[in-house]
Structure 1
Amino acid sequence: MRLVFAGTPEPAVPSLRALLASERHEVVAVVTRPDAQAGRGRRVVRSPIGALADEHGIEVLTPPKASDPAFLARLAEIAPDACPVVAYGALLPQAALDIPEHGWVNLHFSLLPAWRGAAPVQAAIRAGDEITGASTFRIVKELDAGPVYGVITEQITATDTAGVLLGRLSESGAKLLVSTMDGIADGTLRAVEQASDGVSYAPKVTVEDARVSFADPGTAVDRQIRAVSPEPGAWAEFRGERLKLGPVTVVDEPGPPPGELVVERKRVLVGTASKPVRLGEVQAQGKKRMAATDWARGTRIEQGERLQ
Structure 2
Amino acid sequence: MRLVFAGTPEVALPSLDALVASDHEVVAVVTRPDARAGRGRTLRPSPVAERAQELGLEVLRPPKPSDPAFVERLREIAPDCAPVVAYGGLVPADVLSVPRLGWINLHFSVLPAWRGAAPVQHALIAGDEVTGASVFSLVPELDAGPVYGLLTERIRPEDTAGTLLARLADLGAGLLTDVVDHLALGDIEARPQQEEGLTYAPKLTTDDARVDWTAPAFAVDRRIRGCTPAPGAWTTYDGERLKLGPLSVVDGPAALAPGELAVTKNEVRVGTGTSDVLLDEVQPHGKKAMVAADWARGVRPEPGARLG
Q: TM-score category by the smaller chain?
A: over 0.9
Letter in 2 for 1:180: V
Which residue in the other structure is 2:216 paired with?
217
Three-state SS of the structure 2 residue aligned to 1:124 is helix
Q: Deviations over 1:136-172 (max 9, x none)?
A: 0000111111000001111101110000000100000
Contact between 1:163 and 1:229, CA under 8 Å: does it hold in 2? Answer: yes
Which residue in the other structure is 1:94 paired with?
93
Contact between 1:269 and 1:277, CA under 8 Å: does it hold in 2? Answer: yes
Instruction: Return the alpha-carbon distance in structure 1 between the equivalents of residues 93 and 219 of structure 2.
Output: 40
Letter in 2 for 1:240: G
Letter in 2 for 1:10: E
Which residue in the other structure is 1:9 paired with?
9
Three-state SS of the structure 2 residue aligned to 1:255 is coil
Which residue in the other structure is 1:271 paired with?
271
Instruction: Return the alpha-carbon distance in structure 2 between the equivalents of residues 273 and 196 of structure 1.
Output: 34
Q: 1:307: how far off?
A: 0.9
Which residue in the other structure is 1:132 paired with?
131
Instruction: Return the alpha-carbon distance in structure 2 between the equivalents of residues 10 and 237 of structure 1.
Output: 31
Which residue in the other structure is 1:171 paired with?
170
Q: 1:80: how far off?
A: 0.4
Of 114-123 and 257-266, the range deviating more from structure 2: 257-266
Instruction: Return the alpha-carbon distance in structure 2 between the equivalents of residues 261 and 40 of structure 1.
Output: 34
Q: Deviations over 1:1-32 (max 9, x none)?
A: 1000000000000000000111x210000100
Three-state SS of the structure 1 residue aligned to 2:40 is coil
What is the count of residue pairs matched by the alignment?
A: 307
Q: 1:290: how far off?
A: 0.9
Instruction: Return the alpha-carbon distance in structure 1 between the equivalents of residues 60 and 142 of structure 2.
Output: 23
Letter in 1 for 2:4: V
Instruction: Return the alpha-carbon distance in structure 1 between the equivalents of residues 197 and 64 of structure 2.
Output: 32
Letter in 2 for 1:28: V
Instruction: Return the alpha-carbon distance in structure 1 between the equivalents of residues 13 and 288 of structure 2.
Output: 29
Q: Deviations over 1:225-281 (max 9, x none)?
A: 000001111111111111000001111132211111111122101111111111010
Alignment of 1:1-308 (within 5 A): 1-22=1-22, 24-253=23-252, 254-308=254-308
Three-state SS of the structure 2 residue aligned to 1:306 is coil
Three-state SS of the structure 2 residue aligned to 1:53 is helix
Three-state SS of the structure 1 residue aligned to 2:64 is coil
Instruction: Return the alpha-carbon distance in structure 2 between the equivalents of residues 25 and 223 of structure 1.
Output: 40
Q: 1:303: how far off?
A: 1.1
Three-state SS of the structure 2 residue aligned to 1:29 is strand
Instruction: Return the alpha-carbon distance in structure 1 between the equivalents of residues 102 and 175 of structure 2.
Output: 17
What are structure 2's unaligned runs of at least 5 residues? none
Per the normalisation by structure 2, the TM-score is 0.98
Displaced runs of 4 or more, over 3 A: none
Q: Deviations over 1:172-201 (max 9, x none)?
A: 000000000000000011111111211111
RMSD of the alignment, in Å? 0.8
Contact between 1:255 and 1:270, CA under 8 Å: does it hold in 2? Answer: no
Instruction: Return the alpha-carbon distance in structure 2 between the equivalents of residues 232 and 159 of structure 1.
Output: 18
Letter in 2 for 1:44: L
Instruction: Return the alpha-carbon distance in structure 2 between the equivalents of residues 132 and 152 of structure 1.
Output: 8
Instruction: Return the alpha-carbon distance in structure 2 between the equivalents of residues 40 and 154 of structure 1.
Output: 37
Three-state SS of the structure 1 residue aligned to 2:151 is strand
Three-state SS of the structure 2 residue aligned to 1:89 is coil
Instruction: Return the alpha-carbon distance in structure 2 between the equivalents of residues 262 and 12 of structure 1.
Output: 43
Letter in 2 for 1:300: R
Q: 1:207: how far off?
A: 1.2
Q: 1:38: how far off?
A: 0.8
Letter in 1 for 2:99: P
Three-state SS of the structure 1 residue aligned to 2:43 is strand
Instruction: Return the alpha-carbon distance in structure 2 between the equivalents of residues 45 and 287 of structure 1.
Output: 25
Contact between 1:72 and 1:95, CA under 8 Å: does it hold in 2? Answer: no
Contact between 1:210 and 1:233, CA under 8 Å: does it hold in 2? Answer: yes
Three-state SS of the structure 2 residue aligned to 1:96 is helix
